Amino acid sequence: MNIAIALTETPAGIERLADIAPEAIIRVMPHGPALEEHLDWAQVVFGNITPDQIRRAPRLRWAQLNSSGFEPYLTLKDSRVLLTTAHGITSSACAEHVLAMMLIFTRRIAYFGQRQRERAWDRRPQILGSLVGQTLGIVGFGANGQALARRAKAMEMRVIAVRRTPAEAAPPELDELWTVDRLGEMLAQSDHVAVLIPMTAETRGLLGAAQLARMRRGAFLYNVSRGGIADEGALIERLRDGRLGGAAMDVFEQEPLPAASPFWEMENVIVTPHLGAAWGGMWDAAFDLFCENLRRFRAGAPLLNVANLERGY
């Protein structure tokens, strides 16, 4: 078995691969010319090689991505190569990021940061809020949504989620679990709305002008999923006219976010550079997942996180 590790650095604990697959020949190579030279050789790849490289690898049987999203790979629907993702390894970090943004808005952390720089001692308790008793609406209830719901419930919030498929009953971390056809109803009830749904043909533009207009006055929007799910132009209008209290945006239709974007200068917006799900140990976690899948691959067992290229998530 020929295994190509398509990363810029050798993973910690790479010697584990020899224990899992003693017969394997393992080569670590960065993206670029070094990898291109080995496309004819590799049977297994760990790392985000491009869809075009997958097509040009005649012996490739399985590619393990080190990312959760796989939108660029949807063109491989007819490929014989098995594709698996790193779904789930960043769920805790993603949930913590949204919760942090919620607390920044509710506890006015940015405001007091400015007061600190002005050396102003502002002790008006009426400007502060609490998450207790507020409603969080979660758009998408996969691993990220579930992790966020558990944390929000611990903060004594009411938590509602919508997803594509129906459920017989809501899990303990939710007060309500609805299908996406009730999105407007959820938006109207929520003080905070977190977008945690994958980007597919069905979800692109899901939060358009009409949906954003249904959000509760003074509510906050958090997008840590993909740019293009929420209409950015309509969102800017709702933020400017005071309809919405604020937005924390980690993803955008164009990345990097252009310098001319209004988001940069809006006082009620927090911009982060598509790092909402990142954490220091995520690459180690991705390698752990690859090791487990390699054991399964050799044994002929089902692999974890097989990408559904028809469904898109």
81 touches 61 (CB < 8 A): yes
Peptide linkage before 58 cis (omega within 30 of 0):
no
Question: Which is catalytic among the residues 36, 71, 156, 255?
Answer: 255
Distances (CA, A) of 214 to 164, 219, 246, 274: 20, 10, 15, 26
> Count of residues for the chain?
313
Q: Is the dihedral of CA 137, 273, 74, 144 positive or negative?
A: negative
Q: Is the dihedral of CA 30, 31, 36, 39 positive or negative?
A: positive
274 annotated active-site = yes
Q: Which helix (H) or strand (E) holds 206?
A: none
Question: Which is catalytic among the residues 163, 192, 226, 238?
Answer: 226
Query: To the nearest 5 percent, what fractions of the chain are helix, strand and coil?
Result: 35, 15, 50
Question: Which is catalytic among the residues 27, 274, 295, 298?
Answer: 274
Distance, in Å, from the CA atom of 99 to the CA atom of 147, rounded to the nearest integer, reads: 11
303 touches 62 (CB < 8 A): yes
Which positions are annotated as active-site residues? 226, 255, 274
